[in-house]
Amino acid sequence: MIGGPQGSGLNVSAEILAKALSRSGYYVFGQIEYHSNIKGKHSAYKLRISGEHVSSHLDAVHLLSSLDEETLIGDLYHEFPAHRGHVHEIAAGGALLYDVEQKKFIELIDRKDIFLWEMPYAELLDRALTEAGKPGQARAYRIMTNTLALGASVGALGFDFEPVALAIRDSFGAKAGKVADLNVNAARYAYDYAKERFAGQLKFGLPAAPPKREQILVKGSQAVGMAKIKAGCGLQTYYPISPATDESVYLEGYQSDHNLVVLQTEDEVSAIDAAVMGAHGGVRASTSTSGPGFALMPEGLGFAAITEAPGPVLVLYQRGGPSTGLPTRQEQGDLLFALNAGQGDIPRIVMASGDIEECFYDTFDAFNYADRYQVPVILLVDKHMASCYQTLPPFKTSHLKIDRGLVKPANTNGDYQRYAFSKEGVSPRSVPGQAGGIFWSTSDEHDPRGHITEGIGNRLAMMEKRMGKVALAAREIPDGKKYIYLGPAAPQKIPVLAICWGSTKGAVHDALHHADPHHAKYAMLHIRLMSPFPAEAVKNILSRAERVVCFDGNYSGQLARLIRTETGVSVHHSVVKYDGRPFSEDEIMVALGAAKAGAPERLAISEGRVIEPGHGNVEFDKMLELRETNPKMLAPMVPLPPGYNR
Amino acid sequence: MSTVPTDVKTVQPADFKSDVHNDWCPGCGDFGVISAVQMALAKLQVPPHRVAVISGIGCAGKSAHYMNAYSFHTLHGRVMPSVTAMKLANHDLTVIGVGGDGDAYGIGGGHFVAGGRRNLNITYVVMNNDVYALTKGQASPTIAKGQKTKSMSEASIMDAINPILLALACGYTFVARGYALDTKYLSEIIAQAIEHRGSALVDVLQTCPTYNDLHTKGFYAGQIEGQPRLYRLDQTGYDPIVHNPDDPVEIAQKKAQALLKSQEPGGRIPLGVYYKLDVPTYEDHLKAKIPGLQEKPLAELDLYHRDITPNLQELM
C-alpha cells in the first residue's frame, strides 16, 4: 500500500509499479480509496501482487509506503477524525517505509512486530537533482517524492529495477526526455538505498514470477469504454459525475480514431433524453452516470420504454448514497432503484457485472439486447469496479457478433407501422431519413402507428407487447449470462452457498477459491441478470443449500430482498456492508465464519469484522480517546479466522 | 440541410399533413404555427422523410402527430436534448423542435440555455401563448407581473421571461419572433430559420382563445398611439445581420440592438429577425475532429467493425 495526500502522484506511482509487475508476468489487483477532493486529502492505493490470478484486495498490508504523517496516524488532529492511519493494517512481519521527515511520528508507533524502514528522500532526490545540474532544489521538486517512494518499495521487495524504469519512462509518454531521466535516476537512488538495506528481510517476499504472457492491466471504466467502442456505440452522452466520468473521458480520447461522438450535456436529464433520441436516430447510444445522476433519469427511462427505442445502454456506477452521499466511495445501493425507477411498469433489462472481464462482455451484450428487444438496458457497476485495476488476458473479440435486431424491410409501401403488434412483441424499427419509413412516436400511450389513443383494447395490447419483450429476453438470454454457479451439481446438497452480485464477486470468488478450491463445502452463486430475474434457476439452487449467505454492499440487503421477492425464499444470512468500502477477501471468510446456526439473520461487516449496531460511534469515541491520551493506538489488525491461510 | 433529389415530385405544404384528427380548440393559434412550418418546409422543398419534428408536451406538443415527417412527441421540456441527439445522429436531416412557452422557457429552461450555446444547425419554434393551456390555463413564464388571464385565480407576482433576450444571452445565432395569425409571414421567418446554419429560435406570439383573454386576436391587432402594435422589422430598415462574425464589437452592437427592440417602450412588438450571426456550427466542429462525419452522417457510418487492438495494446 502507498498512502499520501491527493495530488502527490501516488496513483501514478502505484500504477507504474503495477505495470512493471504485469509486464514481468505477475498478476496484480489494485484498489484505490480516495476523497472527493482535488488536492490534500488522504488517499491510499493497495496493490495485491500474486503468482496466480486475483480479483480482490486483502485487509492486511505487507508493505506500507508512507508519503505523509496522515498515512501513519490518520487525522486525529481533526475535530471529527476520519481515520487513524494504516499502520495498524500492517500484518506482523510486514514493513513500513517512511521518510526521515516523518520520524517524530514513528516514535509514536508501538509495533515491535513490523520493520520500520527509514528513507532519506530529500537527500536522495538532491543527489539526482545535482546530477541533472539542479543542486539544492529538492524542496522545489518535492512532488517527485512519490517516484522515490516507488523506487524504495521496489528495492525493498527485491524486484528488478529495469522494468520499473521502463514503466516510468512510459508514464511520461512523448514528454520522455530530461524529466523522465530525472525521475528514473531519483527512483534508482531510492531503489539502491532500499535494496542494500532492506531487501530479503520481509517475511512475504514477491512470489516467483509466473511465465510471461500477454496481459493487459485494465480498470473497469476502461473495459466498459472499450466494449462500447467494439459494440459500435456512436453516441455517448454524459454529465460529469464521480465515479462514472472516467469512462466518458476515456471515450472522448477515441472520438477521432473510432468515429464516435461524445456529448457532454447540461444535466443528466438531457444525457438520457439525448441517448434515447440518438438510439431512435439510428445509432447505438449510451450514457453513463452515478446514483445522483440516475436519480434524474427515470423520466427518460420511461420515455425510452414507451417509445420502444433500441436503447439506450445506461451504465450506472453506484457510489455511496443517499443523495450526494459518499461521492468517491463504494456502495451497491442502487439495485432496487435501477429495477424500479420510473412511473408505471417499465420494460427494462438490468445487468450487473461481477468483474472487469464481465464489464467488457456485458457492455457488448447490452447493446445487442437494446436493439433486439428495443428496451432500455441498465448495466450496474460500481465505484470499486470502475477504479480497481487488474491484470487480465487481452479481451477476445473475434467471437463477438453485433445484432441490430428487427429493422423495417425496404419494401413497405406506405403501410409501415412502427408499433405493429407481433407475436414476440418486437416491431421492426425504422431509421429517420429513409423514404417509406416515416413513423410517429409519443410518450403517451399510442396505437400501432404511434398516435395517441386511450382505448382499452389498445392499452391492454400495448402493455402486453412491451412487457412481453422482457419475457422474450428471459427465454433467449443463456443461463451463463444470467448467473454463475460454482458448487456441487444437482441433486447434491450444498453445505454453504455464498450469493453475490456486482464487484463483490471478486472477493467472494477469491475467498472461496483459497478456502475450498473445489467448492465442495462453499458454493458460489453470482447473479448477473437482475431483470428479467432468473427466478426458477435461483430457486432450484437455493432449494439444495443447507445454509445460504447473501452478500450485499448496502445497508438493507437489496439482493436478499430481491431474491425473496422473486423466489419467495429468504436467505439464512444477509451480510451487509455500508461503510463506503468494498468487501475484501478476508471479510468474506469472516462473514462465512460468523454465519452459522444461531447467528443473526443480518450480519454487518466493516474493517474486517462483524460489527454490532453502534459500532461506528464506539470507533469514533476510541479515536477521540486516543487523541486525548496518546496516539500509540496502532494495535495489530484483527486476526484472520483460524485455519484460514492464504 | 438535405438537397432535394431531382426525381422527387415538387413538395407541397399538404405533404406535411398527417391524417390524424386534430383536437386543438377551434381558433387556436397552434393551427397557424403548424401551417407555417409546413409552408416553410415546402418552400425549401425538403421531402417529408428528410425531416424530423420533435415536440414537447402540452397543446404544442401534439404538433408532432399532425405533421407527416419523422415525428417524436417527447417529454415536457425535453425538446432540446432530443433535437440535439437527432441532429448528431443524422446531420443531413432537417431537425425542427416545437414546443410551448412553458415547455421551452420553464421546465426546459436549462436545456434551452444549452441548446443556444451548442449552436447545432437546428430550428426551435416556440408557441408562446402565456399559459399552460392543456392543464387549463395556469400562468406560464411569459406572463408579465400584474397580469391575470381569466384562467388564473390571481395576477402574476413574478416578472415575465423575455425570450428574445434569453436567446441572445444563451448564444442562439438566429433569433426571431413571429405571430401565429400572420401565417404567411411566419412561414417566411421559419424558412429563414431553417436555412440559417446554426441554432435558431423563432418565438411565436400566439393566441389561446380558451384561456388567455388578455393577448387575443384583438389585442395583437390593436394600435398604440395610432401605430399598429405589431410591425415588421424588415420594413423599418433594421439590419439584424452580423456582417463580420470576427468582430466582437459588431456582435455586441447587434445584440444590443436586438435587446432594445425586444423591450420597446410603449408596448409595440416588432416581428421578424432580431439577430443573425453566421459562425461555424457544432457539427462543423465535430466534422473537424471526427473524420467519418465528413463523409456521412453518424447513423450511416459503419461503426460495427472497429478494431480495438490499439486500445488493448495501450494497456500492455
Which has the minimum average pLDDT: A172-186, A217-231, A627-641, B266-280? A627-641
Answer whether residue A641 is part of any domain: no
Mean pLDDT, residues B6-30 = 89
Arithmetic mean of pLDDT, A78-101: 91
CB contact under 8 A, B72 and A280: yes
Give the model's confidence band at B9: pLDDT under 50 very low, under 70 low, under 90 confident, else very high: low
Task: Compute chain B's Rg from CA coordinates.
Answer: 20
Say which CATH number the domain at A344 has: 3.40.50.970
Residue A620 lies in a domain: no
Contact indicator for A467, B98 with CB cutoff of 8 Å: no
In a domain, A630, yes or no: no
B20: chain A residues, CB-CB within 8 Å: 451
pLDDT at A596: 87
CA dist list (Å): A483 to A531, A532, A589, B55? 12, 12, 22, 42
- Cα(A264)–Cα(A235) distance, rounded to whole angstroms? 11
Q: What digits encode the pLDDT tens for the residues A278-309?
A: 999 999 999 999 999 999 999 999 999 999 99
Among A290, A259, A243, A296, residue whose Cα is nearest residue A274: A296
* SS (HEC) of A122-155: HHHHHHHHHHCCCCCCCCCCHHHHHHHHHHHHHH
Q: What is the pLDDT of residue A639?
A: 42
A532-565 residue pLDDT tens:
999 999 999 999 999 999 999 999 999 999 999 9
The predicted model gives A491-502 an average pLDDT of 98
> Which positions in chain B touch A276 (Cβ < 8 Å)?
82, 85
| Among A229, A235, A444, beta carbon nearest to B89 | A235
Instruction: Look up residue A267 and give its DSSP letter.
Output: S
Nearest-neighbour CA in chain B from A590: distance (Å) = 35
pLDDT digits (tens, 9 = 90+) for A161-188: 999 999 999 999 876 789 999 999 999 9
Q: What is the pLDDT of residues B245-284, one digit of tens each?
A: 999 999 999 999 999 999 998 899 999 999 999 999 999 9
Q: How far apart (Å, rounded) are the C-alpha atoms in residues A316 and A366?
A: 13
Please list every residue in chain A whose beta carbon sits closer than 8 Å to the beta carbon of residue B81.
Answer: 265, 269-271, 273-274, 277
Query: Nearest 5°: phi and psi at A64?
Result: -110, 125
Query: Tell me, what's the ipTM?
Result: 0.96
Per the domain annotation, does A521 fall within a domain? yes
Q: Look at residue A298 and give its three-state secondary structure.
A: helix
For the cut 50, the answer to whether the pLDDT of residue A46 exceeds it is: yes
Res. B20: pLDDT tops 90: yes
Beta carbon pairs, A and B, within 8 Å:
198
Helix (H, G, I), strand (E, B) or coil at A336: helix
**Rounded Cα–Cα distance for residues B218 and A60 (Å):** 82
> For chain A, what is the domain count?
4
According to the model, what pLDDT value does residue A55 have? 96
- Kindly state the DSSP code that residue A428 receives in the 8-state scheme: -
Ordered DSSP codes for B221-278: H-EETTEESEEEGGGTT---B-S-TT-HHHHHHHHHHHHHHTT-TTS-EEEEEEEE--
Q: How confident is the model at residue A636 (pLDDT cuts 50, 70, 90)?
A: very low
CATH of the domain at A57: 3.40.920.10
**Is B74 close to A443, i.e. CB distance below 8 A?**
yes
Residue A413, pLDDT > 90, answer no
Domain final residue, candidates A343, A370, A392: A392
Q: Which of A235, A273, A402 sits opposite B78 (nearest CB)?
A: A273
User: Cell numbers of A488, please?
Assistant: 456441487
Do residue A379 and residue A424 come from a single domain?
no
Angle between helix B248-261 and helix B163-170 axes, rounded to 10 deg:
170
Secondary structure string (H, E, C) spanning B142-179: CCCCCCCCCCCCCCCCCCCCCHHHHHHHHCCCEEEEEE
- CB-CB neighbors (< 8 A) of A263 in chain B: 84-85, 88
Model pTM score: 0.96
> Quick check: A358 and A412 in contact, CB under 8 A?
no
User: Which residue type is seen at B130?
Assistant: D
pLDDT in tens, A426-438: 999 999 999 999 9
Residues A492 and A375 in one domain: no
Per-residue pLDDT of A332-358, as tens digits, reads: 999 999 999 999 999 999 999 999 999
Please enumerate in sequence order all residues whose Cβ is within 8 A of that of A354, keeping only pairs 6 or more positions apart, or say none.
A484, A500, A501, A502, A503, A504, A505, A506, A526, A528
Segment 61-90 of chain B within 8 Å of chain A by CB: 62, 64-65, 68-75, 78, 80-86, 88-90
Tell me how far apart the alpha carbons of residues A443 and A458 are, in angstroms, rounded to a whole number. Answer: 15
State the nearest Cα–Cα gap between B96 and chain A, in angstroms. Answer: 13
Query: Given CB atoms, is B224 within the 8 Å cutoff of chain A?
Result: no
> What does the pLDDT average to over A211-219?
95
Same domain, A388 and A415: no
Cβ-contact B84, B122 below 8 angstroms = yes
DSSP A39: S
Do A221 and A370 lie in a common domain?
yes
How many C-beta atoms lie closer than 10 Å to residue A531's C-beta?
A: 21
> Chain B: residue nearest A217 by CA?
B315
* Local structure of residue A489 (DSSP, 8 states): P
- Could you tell me if A269 and A161 lie in one domain? no
pLDDT at residue A526, as a whole number: 98
Nearest CB to A394 within list B62, B65, B312:
B312
| Chain mean pLDDT for chain B | 96
pLDDT given at position B6: 53
Residue A207 confidence class, pLDDT cut points 50, 70, 90:
confident
Q: Chain B contacts of A439, Cβ < 8 Å?
A: 70-71
**Beta carbons of B291 and A259 less than 8 Å apart:** yes
**Chain A residues with CB inside 8 Å of B52's CB?**
281, 432
Distant-in-sequence, close-in-space partners of A475: CB < 8 Å, separation ≥ 6 = none
| Residue of B41, B74, B300 best to disrupt the A interface, most CBs of A under 10 A | B74
Answer whether A233 sits within 8 Å of B303, measured CB to CB: yes
Same domain, A490 and A510: yes
Please check whether residues A298 and A442 belong to one and the same domain.
no
Partner-chain contact A284 B303, CB within 8 Å? yes
In this complex, the residue of A230, A277, A437 whose CB is nearest that of residue B82 is A277
B59-85 residues labelled b (16+ CB within 10 A) or e (exposed): bbbbbbbbbbbbbbbbbbbbbbbbbbb
- pLDDT computed for residue A632 by the predictor: 53
- CATH code, A524: 3.40.50.920
- Whether pLDDT at A641 is above 50: no
Nearest to B290 among A255, A303, A441 (CB): A255
Closest CA to A316 of A366, A361, A274, A280: A366
The Cα–Cα gap between A237 and A263 comes to 5
Task: Measure the N-to-C terminal CA separation of chain A; round to a whole number of Å.
Answer: 18
From chain A, pick out residues whose CB is under 8 angstroms from the CB of B310.
257
Nearest CA in chain B to A266: B114
Report the 3 state secondary structure along A510-549: HHHHHHCCCCCCEEEEEECEEECCCHHHHHHHHHHECCEE
| pLDDT band per the 50, 70, 90 thresholds, residue A630 | low
Of the partner residues A265, A276, A281, the one whose CB lies closest to the CB of residue B90: A281
- pLDDT at A266 > cutoff 60: yes
Whether residue B315 and residue A270 make contact (CB cut-off 8 A), yes or no, is: no
Mean pLDDT value of segment A50-59? 95
> Other CB atoms closer than 10 Å to residue A486's CB: what's the count?
16
A49: in domain: yes
**Tell me, what DSSP letter sits at residue A482?**
T
Chosen domain end from A370, A392, A414: A392
Contact assignment for B74 to A277 by CB distance below 8 Å: yes
Residue A401 lies in a domain: no
The grid coordinates listed for A292 are 445522483
Boundary (domain end) residue, out of A447, A477, A507: A477
The number of beta carbons lying within 10 Å of the beta carbon of residue B12 is 13
Judge if A508 and A370 occupy the same domain: no
Q: What is the pLDDT of residue A107?
A: 82
- Taking the CA of residue B117 and the nearest CA in chain A, the distance in Å comes to 11
Share the mean pLDDT of chain A.
94
Q: What percent of chain B has pLDDT over 90?
A: 96
CB contact under 8 Å between A281 and B306, yes or no, is no
Disruptive mutation site among A22, A24, A259 for chain B (greatest number of B CBs within 10 Å):
A259
DSSP secondary-structure letter at A407? Answer: B
CA-based nearest distance A24→chain B, Å: 11
Residues A123 and A222 in one domain: no
Tell me what the mean pLDDT of segment A306-329 comes to: 98
The nearest CA of chain A is from the CA of B159 a distance in Å of 25
What A518-523 contacts at long range (C-beta under 8 Å, 24+ apart), as own/partner pairs, is A519/A486, A519/A487, A519/A488, A520/A488, A520/A495, A521/A495, A521/A496, A522/A487, A522/A495, A522/A496, A522/A498, A522/A592, A523/A485, A523/A486, A523/A487, A523/A488, A523/A494, A523/A495, A523/A496, A523/A497, A523/A498
B100 neighbors B127 (Cβ within 8 angstroms) = yes
Helix (H), strand (E) at residue A204 = none
Nearest to A483 by CA among A543, A542, A516, A524: A524
As a whole number, mean pLDDT of residues B120-142 equals 96
State whether B306 and A229 contact (CB < 8 Å): yes
Instruction: Give residue A438's pLDDT.
Output: 96
Taking CA–CA distances from B73, the nearest residue in chain A reads: A442
Each as own residue / partner, the long-range contacts of residues B240-248 (CB below 8 Å, 24 or more positions apart, any chain) are B240/B272, B240/B273, B240/B274, B240/B275, B240/B276, B241/B276, B241/B277, B242/B275, B242/B276, B242/B277, B242/B278, B245/B277, B245/B278, B245/B279
Judging contacts by C-beta atoms under 8 Å, the chain B residues touching residue A259 are 290-293, 298, 301, 303
* Interface probe, candidates A442, A446, A453, A454, chain B, greatest B C-beta count within 10 A: A442
**Nearest-angstrom CA–CA distance, B309 and A216:** 11
Interface of B with A in 274-293 (CB under 8 A): 286, 289-293
Same domain, A440 and A492: no
CA distance to partner chain B, nearest, from residue A41 (Å): 28
Residue A632 counted as domain residue:
no
Residue A622 lies in a domain: no
* Domain, as residue range, for A354: 217-392
| CA A600-A602-A607 angle, 5° bins | 105
- What separation in angstroms does the CA of A23 have from each of A151, A217, A394, A435, A632? 17, 9, 13, 54, 40
pLDDT at B56: 98
Measuring CA to CA, which residue among B3, B126, B106 is closest to residue B55?
A: B126
**Minimum distance, in Å, between the CA of residue B134 and any CA atom of chain A:** 14
Put simply, the answer to whether B49 touches A438 (Cβ < 8 Å) is yes
Domains present along chain B, CATH in parentheses: 13-313 (3.40.50.970)
Does residue A121 sit in the same domain as residue A17? yes
Inter-residue contact B208 to B130 (CB < 8 Å): yes
Query: Given a cut of 70, is residue B191 above it in pLDDT?
Result: yes
Same domain for A537 and A591? yes
